[in-house]
Amino acid sequence: MKLITSLILLFLVFNCMAQEKKIWAKSYLNKKAPELLVEQWLTETPDTKGKFVLIDFWATWCAPCKRAIPKLNAFNRLFHNELVVIGISDEPWFKVRKQKNPAVEYFNAIDSRKRMKRQYKIQAIPHCVIINPEGIVVWEGNPNQPGFELTTEVIRELLNNG
């Protein structure tokens, strides 16, 4: 009986560990977000005052990043009154401007000096953070990570509790 109970407990521990969200960056969850620093805006400069901000670290060569763009476009359209979506790439501006399939429909900036990427210690992209109006990170991670996807429901919950 003890063996069965021990095996069940061991299974539950491993199952919980397998369900843990992985992030390939320094965690800022529930902490003050680093200052938003960009080298050049490829769009107009967004007004983030009083709004949630979703920052997407991405690159044109990154297939998972490109898969996330339509979802981020949808978030931008759906939540535009409460959420500012910003893409940040460390690539040259001419490469980012060529990105047409899929087209980026939200604010876009260049940080070729990788200041933001270093502050967040990002090791893999895509990496997104959502920052509440008080400047606190309330969500972070790969928006496509199975079991932890960034969805409309997740954003709606953050906005409602924010």
Contact indicator for 87, 56 with CB cutoff of 8 Å: yes
Q: For residue 130, which of 58, 66, 57, 78 has the smallest C-alpha distance? A: 57
Which residues, other chains included, contact 12 with Cβ-Cβ below 8 Å and sequence gap of 6+? none
Percentage of the chain exceeding pLDDT 70: 88
DSSP symbol at 45: P
Q: For residue 85, which of 123, 58, 64, 112 has the smallest C-alpha distance? A: 58
pLDDT tops 60 at residue 120: yes
Distance CA 77, CA 95 (A): 24
Domains of the chain, first to last: 22-161 (3.40.30.10)
pLDDT of residue 13: 36
Band (20; pLDDT cuts 50, 70, 90): confident
pLDDT of residue 1: 52
Compute the average pLDDT of residues 23-39.
Answer: 97
Distance CA 155, CA 162 (A): 10
Q: For residue 84, which of 113, 59, 117, 106 has the smallest C-alpha distance? A: 106
pLDDT of residue 26: 97
Query: What's the pTM value of the predicted model, to 2 decimals?
Result: 0.87
